[in-house]
Structures are given as structure tokens and as C-alpha cells.
Amino acid sequence: MRILSKYIAKNILASTLLVLLVLLALYTFMDFITELDDLGDGEYGIGSILSYIALTMPKRIYELLPVAALLGSVIGLGNLASQSELVAIRAAGYSIVDINKAVLVVAVLLMMLALVIGEGLRPVSEQYARQLQSVAQTGTVGSRSEHGFWTRDGNHFNHIDRINADGSFSNVAIYEFDDNHRLRILTRAASAEYQDDSWILTDVVQSTINEAGVKVRSVTHARWQSQLNPGMVNIVVVPPEFLPVWDLLEYVKYLKDNHQSVAQYELAFWSKLMMPVSTAVMVLLAVPFVFGPLRSAPIGGRILAGALIGIGFHLFNQSFQHMGLVFGLLPWLASSFPTMLFAILAWWMNRRVR
């Protein structure tokens, strides 16, 4: 029986890998066409575009893995069925439950692959891809938005005009309020560099505001104690879906300590936890395609049905998460509901298989 389980798992894994390569090639080509719009910006040439796309491939693999798992499982089991191998396997005493166990092994392996890519390769490669693109297009890896970056640290509201490649800041403004929400101190600095668990401000101009008026003083250097550190700076400038789970947890704690909105980051955290589970659910959905109502359909019909369900899951998952943010649903519910719904569907369909 163990040999049969390995044989089934091997066929499913091979088909999943093939589907993943085909989908990856298709999406890579579309990404290449999209990046051609920026060709010629600075030194952003064909070589830079190809390097950027290569570095973003872990992101694409991570996104495509659930759909590839479903289609690969359908094709793998479908090939075994079309060659009457599944009939022979069942005639040898191998039940549907045993086949599901073999499929479950594949699901676990794909879950582990999703974890490795999502928590190991994807965050690092995406950071390098963004740096490479920024250097080629603008000549710098610093990050800047149209209005800079705002952070809160207790009663301090901080505006950072630019975050540089080495983690230092340029053009910093620190607004300090009292407990009655009145502005008391405004500190401006040309730059800030992190040293010994605090920030060293350079070319500082500080305005102290009280009932007597405004007092201004200037110093060359000053020390700024803040909960914000270089590790959190990377979190601020990188979209939450590209961050490792542990960075998301750290930043969520920082935001909660400063009474700021955490919904977007909590949603990203739960989405990353549910991603490997989604991949496993897609694999388990493949069994009813072979033994259920579609068992007499040609392989092309099964693949089409699998593609429609896989794409439908992806769209429903993304849409429901965005709806969760808009309507204020609990982040864990917005992230897990689509996966749990399809898991119940997979369980119900497998129960009906004979």
C-alpha cells in the first residue's frame, strides 16, 4: 500500500510542478510586457527588467500555488483514471479513503513549500527586487512617498520626508503634544541616524511652545528616544503582504501600543497563515473531480472545471478580504472564511464519493 501511495503522490506532484511552470511562464511574460512601459527610465533597461522579474518569481509562485495545486492534482489523478490505473488500484483493495490519504501527503508537502517561499524567499527577494528597480530608475534605493511618512510614538507624531538606503532619515519633524492634545514642542532635523538604541539628530532646530510664546533654539546634534527602529522602518516602506509573519507581529504590537489602526496588518498576518491551508484544500478538492460527477467527463472538462474553481476561489478570497477591511470584519474571519468555506465544500464532495 505504501508503494501505491508514493506512486499516486509522485504523479500529483509531477503534474502540479508542470502546471506551476506553465502558469509561471504565462504570468512572467505578462509581467515583462508590463515592465516594458518603464523601459528607459534612468538606467532601467532590458537587463534590469529581466533581473527584476527573476527576483519577483517567488512572489508569483506563492500566489499561483493554490491554483496549480488544484489543477495539478486534477491532471495527475485524471491521467491515472484515464489509463485505468485507479481502477486497478481500487481493485487491489485501495479505498477512496486511502487515496485521500495519499493526496493529503501531497497537500502537506505543498503546505511546507508555501511556508518556505512565503516566509523565507518571498520577503527577501521582493526587497531586493524593489531596490534593484529603484536604483535603475532613480539612482537611489531610498524610499519616499509624495507626502513622506508619518508615525506615532506615544504623544509624539513624527514626519519623515525620506528614508535612505542605510536606514537613516532625511528631513525629520517631531511634533510633541501634551496630555490635553496641545502642541508643545516642534523639533526639526536635517537627518537622523540610529545609534545605541536611539536616533542621533543632526542640524536640529527646536521650537518650544507655551503660554509665554515660542522659544527657538538650535543645536548641532540631539538624541531622540523612540520606539521606532530600523527594523520597523523596513516594515513601513514594504507592503504588509510581503513581510514575514514575525515582522508583522512586531509591527502590530507597535501600532497597538500607539493606538493606531492595525486592521491591514492583522489581515495580512492571518492571510499568510491561511495560505498554506488554502493550498491543501485545493489539493483535497481534486479527488471528487475524478471519482465524483465528473468521473465520466474527458480530462479537458475536468481541467476546465478545476481552473474555474481555482480562479473562483482566488477572486472570492481577494474580494472577501478587501470587503472585510471596508466593512470592519474581524481580520481572522475575513482571511479564513473563503478557505473554510471551500474546505467544507471539499469535505462534503469527498463524503459523496463512492
Residue-by-residue DSSP string for 273-316: HHHHHHHHHHHHTHHHHHHSTTTTS-HHHHHHHHHHHHHHHHHH
DSSP 241: G
Q: What is the pLDDT of residue 236?
A: 59
Question: What string of DSSP letters covers 179-223?
Answer: TTS-EEEEEEEEEEEEETTEEEEEEEEEEEEETTEEEEEEEEEEE
Beta strands, E only, the chain: 149-153, 156-163, 169-177, 183-195, 198-210, 213-224
Identify the band that residue 25 occupies on the pLDDT scale cut at 50, 70 and 90: very high
CA angle 87, 9, 97 (to 5 degrees): 55
pLDDT at 317 over 80: yes
Q: What is the pLDDT of residue 233?
A: 64
CB 228 within 8 A of CB 160: no
CB 169 within 8 A of CB 191: yes
pTM over 0.85: no
Residue 95 or residue 62, greater confidence: 62
Q: Return the axis-axis angle of helices 57-82 and 299-327, rounded to nearest 10°.
A: 140
Which grid cell sits at 115? 511556508
Q: Exposed (0-12), middle (13-18) or buried (19+): which is 105, by Cβ within 10 Å?
A: middle
First to last CA, the chain: 19
pLDDT in tens, 218-237: 888 888 887 777 766 655 55
Distance, in Å, from the CA atom of 102 to the CA atom of 291, rounded to the nearest integer, reads 15
Q: Report, as an integer, the average pLDDT of 38-51.
A: 82
Task: Give me the phi and psi of 103, to 5 degrees please.
Answer: -65, -35
Residues ≥6 apart with Cβ < 8 Å to 274: 335, 336, 339
Q: Report, as an integer, the average pLDDT of 152-165.
A: 78
pLDDT at 298 over 70: no
Residues ≥6 apart with Cβ < 8 Å to 198: 223, 224, 225, 226
pLDDT in tens, 262-275: 777 888 888 888 88
Q: What is the pLDDT of residue 29?
A: 92
pLDDT at 296 over 60: no
Identify the band that residue 21 occupies on the pLDDT scale cut at 50, 70 and 90: very high
Give CA torsion, residues 23, 26, 27, 31, to 10 deg. 160
